[in-house]
Amino acid sequence: MNSITQDLKRFISGDVINTPEVLTEVSQDFGGIFQKRPQVVVRPQSVNDIVQTIKYAHQKGLVISSRAAGHSLSGQPLNQDGIVLDMKGLNQITEIQKDHLWFKADAGASWGQIVNACIPNGLVPPVLTNYFDVSVGGTHSAGGIGAASFARGSQADNCLGVEVVTAEGEIVWCTPEENSELFYHVLCGYGEFGIITKLQHKLSIFPAFTRTYLLFYDDIDALLHDKRVLVTEQRVDHLVSFPIPCLQGVSRVTGTLQPLIQWFYTLRITVEANSCDTIDDEEILSGLNFYRRIHTEDLSFERFIEPMIQVDNVPSIAHPWMDVFLPESIAKNYIETTLNKLPSFLDISKTQMGCFCLVNRNNKMPLFRLPDEELIIGFGIYPSILKSQLPPILAELEKLSNISLEMGGKRYLTGWVEFNTQQWQLQFGDYWSKVHEIKKKYDPKGILNSGFFQNEEVTPSNSHYEYVAR
Ligand SMILES: Cc1cc2nc3c(=O)[nH]c(=O)nc-3n(C[C@H](O)[C@H](O)[C@H](O)COP(=O)(O)OP(=O)(O)OC[C@H]3O[C@@H](n4cnc5c(N)ncnc54)[C@H](O)[C@@H]3O)c2cc1C
C-alpha cells in the first residue's frame, strides 16, 4: 500500500482503493483514446470526505480529478499519478419540489435515476440528453444538450444552484446571485474550478402525449430553411436531424472506381400536447419543403423520452466523437464539405451522425462557447473504430475540427479534443485570458483535474496516449 493510500484511509470514511483492477478501470473513459493512471481512487461517502481529500491533495501538491460515469470522450476525468474522486456513490435525490418545480440531488446521481423519480410526480427535467447513464454532475460540467435545447438551453442553463467544494476545501453554495462567478464557471467547467457535490435543477410539468413527424429531405438548403422556420416560430418542442448516405453507383473518372454517394437527410420533429386531438398537422408542417413525410408517430410522453441509443464499451474500440457548433450562415458549406470528405477515411455505413439546433440567446454559460450568430446548427460525427485505426482517423478529424474553428464554429468539449494554444484561443476567443484568470483565482495551485483547458505539452514522460507517444 503506498503512503498516499495509507494517509487517506486514516480520515476518509468512504473507500480508498489502489488495487490494479480499480486503477485500470479508471485509467480510461468511454472515448478509449487516452490513458492515465492515478495512484489512488477515493469513493467518498460524504461531502466531508471530498473536503478532506482536497485538503490532503492541496497540502501534498497532488492533482485530483472528479469522475462520475466516465462517459467523456477525451480523457476529461482521467488523472496521472494523483487522486481520482469517484463521485458515483454520492447519488441521492434529496428533494423533489412539485410546487416550485425543481429537484435537488447529489452530483453522482444519474439522469436515469432523476427521470425515474420525477415521472411518477408528473414532472420531468426540461432538457434530457439522449442517454441517461451519465451523471448530473458530469453533464452540468459539460453543458448537457438534447433535442429540446434549441428552445430550453443546455442542462447547465436550467441549473438553479450548485454546492461546490473549492480547491481550498471550502463548501460553497452557488447560484446566479450568490457566489455567481463560481456558479458560472463550475458549470461547463469540466471539474477545473471546483467539485460539484449537489445540484438544484428546474423541472417542468410534462404533457400526456407527443406526436413525432419523420420528414425526408433531398436538399440541404430546404432542410436548413425548415429548421430556421421551426425554431424561430417555435412550432415544435424537439428537433433533430440525421444525414443518410445513399450509394448511387461508381465513378471511373480518376482511373480507380470511386463510390458515388448522395446524401439525404431525415428531420425528426416532435410536438408535446395534452391531447393528440389538439395537434394540427397542417399548421405544424405548413410551408415546409421536405421531399416526403415518411412517418407520424403518437406516443405517451414517458415512452417518447426513453433513450433510443444503446452503447457497448468494448476495450478494443475507441470513440473519437466530435460535435461542432456552426453559425447558420456557414452550416451548409461546412456540412457538405465534411460529408464529402468522410467516406475517404471512415466507414460511413457504420458511423452515426446527427444534427441539432441551438439558439444563442438561451446560452447563459460563458464556458459553453457558441458562435456569434443567433441560430446555431450542431453537427456531430460519432465513429466507433478499432483503436489501431485511431492515428489516421484523428488526423482527418483534426482537419475537420480546424475547418470548423476557422469558419467561426466552436467545438462541444465533451467530444475528442486535442487543442494546441491557438485552437484553444479560437475556441474561447476573447474569453481565453479570463479562463486562465478564473483558474488562477479558484485553483491557484492547479490541483483540480489535469489541465484540460490548458495546452498540455505531450512528451514521452507524461504521454497519456494509448495509441502512440508523440
Ligand atoms: C453514449 C453517449 C451519449 C451521450 N449523449 C449526450 C447527449 O445527448 N448530450 C450531451 O450533451 N452529451 C452527451 N454525451 C456526453 C456526456 O454527456 C458527457 O461526456 C458527460 O460529461 C458525461 O458525464 P459522466 O457522468 O460520464 O462524467 P465523466 O465522464 O465521469 O466526467 C466528465 C467531466 O465532468 C467532470 N465531472 C464529473 N463529475 C463532476 C463533479 N461532480 N464536479 C465537477 N466536475 C465533474 C469530470 O472531471 C470530467 O471533466 C454522451 C456521451 C456518451 C458516451
CATH of 89-205, one of 3.30.360.10, 1.10.10.10, 2.120.10.70, 3.30.465.10: 3.30.465.10
CATH topology of domain 3-88+438-451: 3.30.43
* Cβ 110 under 6 angstroms from ligand 1: no
Task: Give the pLDDT band of residue 308 (cuts 50, 70, 90).
Answer: confident
pLDDT at 465: 33
CA of 262 to the centre of ligand 1 (A): 34
Q: What is the pLDDT of residues 66-107, one digit of tens each?
A: 999 999 999 999 999 999 999 999 999 999 999 999 999 999
pLDDT band at 162 (very low <50, low <70, confident <90, very high): very high
Look at residue 263 and tell me whether its pLDDT is greater than 80.
Answer: yes
Tell me the pLDDT of the chain averaged across its residues. 94
Q: Supply the pLDDT for residue 312.
A: 78
Instruction: Determine whether the shortest distance from the Cβ of 72 to ligand 1 is under 6 A.
Output: yes
Query: Among residues of the chain, what percentage have pLDDT more than 90?
Result: 91
Look at residues 394, 455, 452, 459 and name the one whose alpha carbon lies nearest to residue 422: 455
pLDDT tens for each residue of 163-221: 999 999 999 999 999 999 999 999 999 999 999 999 999 999 999 999 999 999 999 99
Ligand 1 midpoint to CA 311 (Å) = 15
* Phi-psi region at 324: left, alpha or beta (left = phi > 0; alpha = psi -120 to 50): beta
- Closest-CA residue, ligand 1 atom 11, reads 144
- Among 29, 30, 71, say which to mutate for ligand 1: greatest number of ligand atoms within 8 Å of CB: 71
Every domain of the chain and the residues it spans: 3-88+438-451, 89-205, 209-422
Cα 275-157-100 angle, rounded to 5 deg? 60
At the second CATH level, the architecture of 209-422 is 3-Layer(aba) Sandwich (3.40)
Q: What per-residue confidence (pLDDT) applies to 470?
A: 20
Looking at residue 452, its pLDDT comes to: 77
Q: What is the pLDDT of residue 1?
A: 57
Ligand 1 atom showing the smallest separation from residue 449 Cα: 47
pLDDT of 456 reads: 47
CB-ligand 1 contact for 127 (6 Å cutoff): no
Which protein residue has the closest C-alpha to ligand 1 atom 52? Answer: 71
pLDDT tens digit string along 310-321? Answer: 787 788 999 999
Check residue 275 and give left, alpha or beta (phi > 0: left; psi -120 to 50: alpha). beta
Q: Determine the pLDDT at residue 469.
A: 24
Ligand 1 site, residue 107, Cβ cutoff 6 A = yes
3-88+438-451 and 209-422, same CATH topology: no
Of 155, 221, 261, nearest to 377 by C-alpha is 221
Query: What are the pLDDT digits (tens) for 442-470?
Result: 999 999 987 777 654 433 233 333 332 22
Q: What pLDDT is attached to residue 454?
A: 66
Percent of the chain at pLDDT > 70 equals: 96
Say yes or no: CB of residue 266 within 6 Å of ligand 1: no
CB 257 less than 6 A from any atom of ligand 1: no
pLDDT at site 457:
40
Q: Ligand 1: does its nearest atom lie under 6 Å from the Cβ of 155? A: no
